[in-house]
Amino acid sequence: MPPGKRRPWRDEDNTALIALWDAIGSVSLIAIMLKRSRSSVQTQASRLGLPPRAEESDRHRRRWAEGDDAKLDALMAELTGPGGAIPIQQLAERMGRSVDAVVARIEIRHGEESDVMERLAAPPMPVAAPPCPKPAGAAVADKAEQPQGKMKRCLRCRKNFWSAGNHNWICISCKRSEDWDYD
């Protein structure tokens, strides 16, 4: 995103970020979907207290070899669709790397404000599906299958935030405020 184009995070944006954080495995994809910078998404996720991303270290941390840049250029040319859109998930899959690693490499080679970065295409925003009803008497087999957190509305400021457990009903911003200790 070009400098000077900052937008405030509204409650709807936070809700979308929280929903995408679990569903999408890439900060770069979330940034493309929300039309924000990666750093903006990562910073807001941190402010909302979202859990850290689990990285596939073999796909993300591997060094780029000499031939990898040529392969990336060839795949970008091959996969570029009508209107110049580049399907970033396909590109990353064909490169054998994470989406975040490929986006970071493209950013290094072409610059953050390049037209290439603007042409990266993510899949459409997922539509929240209604929860599947469980058969009568069905119980969750073990704790690992139960959700580890969920979105809640702060009792103090009424904004949505990510809560890691049943005990948490006040967002991090409210807890960090000066008057929190005096309430």
What pLDDT digit, counting tens, does each position of 28-75 carry? Answer: 889 888 888 888 998 998 888 888 776 655 555 678 888 898 999 999
- For residue 81, the Cα-to-chain-centroid distance in whole angstroms is 24
63 vs 180: CA distance, rounded Å: 46
Question: So what's the pLDDT on residue 177?
Answer: 82
The DSSP call for residue 143 is: G
Please count the other Cβ atoms lying within 10 Å of the Cβ belonging to residue 96: 13
pLDDT at residue number 120 = 86
Q: Is 93 exposed, middle or buried (0-12, 13-18, 19+ CB in 10 A)?
A: middle
Length of the chain: 183
pLDDT in tens, 140-149: 444 444 456 7
pTM: 0.63
pLDDT tens digit string along 129-169?
444 444 444 444 444 444 567 778 888 888 888 787 778 88
Structure tokens at 105: 């490499």
CA distance 154 to 161: 7
